[in-house]
Amino acid sequence: MNTDFESLISELTQPLNGQYPRPWMTKLRDLLQAKVFIVGKNQATEFTLEKVGTHDRHMDSLFNRNGESCRGLYDEVTKGNPSRTRPNIDDLTQRLESKGVHEILETNVICYSTPMSSHLAKQIHTGGRQRGDEIFQTLLSYIRPSILIVHGADTSKKLGRSLKANLPSPPSKPDDLVIVRLDYDGYKPLVFVIPSLVQPAFNTWRRWGPAHLDNVAVAVAGHLGRL
């Protein structure tokens, strides 16, 4: 693991507004090996200081080491009651893994937690928005994944602003794949734009969701040479 990267993540995940900013969910131990980012707007579950404990424990969980793991700490914090979005992200991750894609990092364009994304507009969360954006930019800068899977129209717009590009809207049919090749100062990720995995928006396309996510998984695996 790059020590500069870990030191920067340690600095950026220091407590803010009573919570530890949560930059990702992953099974990886070497985060720099991630090939695919699944990107949402921001996460709902707050990792409060009371529930997590020390910052060292938070860091160990992020890097899946010393008996800690991203998912283990998340399950402990949520006490078996994950956010309504979590099962949908898990579903996409599992579909990717079934096609041989395992280098996955789930993150957000704003890596800072609020119960609803609309709460980010509140003044109390100004610092969180700024820190969350800085964390995401840091991940892109260090990891530079080959593929970004962006879910939701709002996320697509926010990512587009971050990467100085106009990203299209998500598709409305299962067989439609919205894929864009970007060039952001020499970084050229392939961006898949899909409908939102967040409830209740997910319910509007739940009926054709499995077929669409399967198509996305196949396409991603193909681009990575896994098929």
CA-wise closest residue to 12 among 73, 48, 58, 45:
58
Hey, what amino acid is at 49? Answer: L
DSSP state of 195: -
pTM to 2 decimals?
A: 0.95
Residue 122 has pLDDT above 90, yes or no: no
pLDDT value at residue 1: 59
Give phi and psi for 192, each to the nearest 5.
-100, 125
What are the sequence ranges of the domains in the chain? 30-45+83-223
pLDDT tens across 194-213, in order? 999 999 999 999 999 999 99
Residue-level pLDDT at 120: 80
Which whole number is the average pLDDT over 109-125? 85
CATH, range 30-45+83-223: 3.40.470.10
Helix (H/G/I), strand (E/B), else coil: 147: strand
Comparing 132 with 128, the larger pLDDT belongs to: 132
Reported as a single tens digit per residue, the pLDDT across 79-99 is 989 999 999 999 999 999 999
pLDDT exceeds cutoff 90 at 20 = yes
